[in-house]
Chain A
Amino acid sequence: NAGVTQTPKFQVLKTGQSMTLQCAQDMNHEYMSWYRQDPGMGLRLIHYSVGAGITDQGEVPNGYNVSRSTTEDFPLRLLSAAPSQTSVYFCASSPFSGGAQETQYFGPGTRLLVL
């Protein structure tokens, strides 16, 4: 299994540009989520999904869109990039069983710089 993969690893955008951060998992996990990591702020939840076709907002959803058309993929779209969106973005997936199997698996991250 490849686990959770994210592309690209690093991206530079200009203010106002749009882009999509890709996330895929091959573990058939129901739950997928996106976080941003900023110094002193920890990981903050942007959006999450509990299954294909079902998404919901996290703590900091403004400026981001998501969709979940398949179990495997959970792309994050930046609609109009702003310098405040400079961050490291992590995607994660989990079986979401509420039992012994429940653990979030994280991707390697995407470092985004918005100029």
Chain B
Amino acid sequence: AQSVAQPEDQVNVAEGNPLTVKCTYSVSGNPYLFWYVQYPNRGLQFLLKYITGDNLVKGSYGFEAEFNKSQTSFHLKKPSALVSDSALYFCAVRAPREAGTYKYIFGTGTRLKVLA
């Protein structure tokens, strides 16, 4: 069965410092991995994804994520945090079609707080 774990409910980081939001997954076959962000009282916005290819993927707003197959992780990173990055971040996984399931499974979310 597919699953996603975001082990930290909240991450605090000072403005200008690098940030990491962790995500690990479990899925049969090669995963499709996604990060979404939710600002207060808003819907979810796509940040970046890994489908195939380079393990380091770059996305919106200066975010990037590294796919690590051996550690089954897809951590979200940014070199220099901004106060405006404060939001709720979700990791999601989908199994490939040959796995016979078409569900996107989301993690419980990590609240990022960037302190000025």
Residues of chain A within 8 A (CB-CB) of B105 are 45, 59
For window 1-39 of A, CB contacts with B under 8 Å fall at: 31, 33, 35
Cβ-defined contact, B43 with A90, below 8 A: yes
Known contacts being A42-B90, A42-B108, is A106 close to B44, with CB within 8 Å?
Answer: yes
Cβ-defined contact, A48 with B43, below 8 A: no
A75 within 8 A of B: no
A96 within 8 A of B: yes
Cβ-defined contact, B102 with A96, below 8 A: yes
With the chains together, A40 CA to B108 CA distance in Å? 6
Cβ-defined contact, A107 with B104, below 8 A: no
Residues of chain B within 8 A (CB-CB) of A102 are 32, 49, 51
Residues of chain A within 8 A (CB-CB) of B107 are 42
Listed residue (B43, B45, B51) with the most chain A CB atoms within 10 angstroms of its CB: B43
Chain A minimum-CB-distance residue to B1: A59
Closest Cβ–Cβ distance, residue B21 to chain A (whole Å)? 13
Residues of chain B within 8 A (CB-CB) of A56 are 102
Listed residue (B90, B107, B109) with the most chain A CB atoms within 10 angstroms of its CB: B109
Cβ-defined contact, B49 with A109, below 8 A: no
With the chains together, A101 CA to B91 CA distance in Å? 18
Chain B minimum-CB-distance residue to A104: B104
Residues of chain A within 8 A (CB-CB) of B108 are 40-42
Residues of chain A within 8 A (CB-CB) of B42 are 108
Residues of chain B within 8 A (CB-CB) of A35 are 106
Residue-wise interface mask of B (3-44) relative to A, using a CB-CB cutoff of 8 A (1 in contact, 0 not): 000100100000000000000000000001010100000111
Residue-wise interface mask of A (78-115) relative to B, using a CB-CB cutoff of 8 A (1 in contact, 0 not): 00000000000010101010111011111111000000
Closest Cβ–Cβ distance, residue A90 to chain B (whole Å)? 6
